[in-house]
Amino acid sequence: MKVTPINDYKDIHQDKETVLVLGYFDALHRGHKVLFDKARQIADEKQLEVAVLTFNESPQLTFQRYTDDLLLQHLRDVVIFLKPMAQINFT
């Protein structure tokens, strides 16, 4: 699993066609696993890579005042949880 911090669009490098799973995975659950499994299935069928793009804070922080409940898990904890789910390059 490769983790790449992205601070700017210039940090994104796509070498291969990719299935992108995009979301704020703050409270990981079975629904997220279904999403990752589907991405893996599509990628395998079409011989593509899989990448996950997540955020270290809730996108809601852009639109409302900060409250503690917007940050349910630290990004490090999310990566640790996701690692065994599938062989995916998490970005």
Measured between alpha carbons, how far is 47 from 32 in angstroms, rounded to an integer?
A: 22
Global confidence as pTM = 0.62
Residue 91 in this model has a pLDDT that exceeds 60: no
6-10 average pLDDT score: 84
Give the strands of the sheet with 49-53, arranged side by side. Answer: 18-22, 49-53, 89-90
Candidates 37, 32, 84; CA nearest to 54 is: 32
Q: Residue 11 — pLDDT band, cuts 50, 70, 90? A: confident
Sequence length of the chain is: 91
pLDDT by residue (tens digit) across 19-78?
999 888 777 788 888 999 999 999 999 999 999 888 777 666 666 666 666 555 566 676
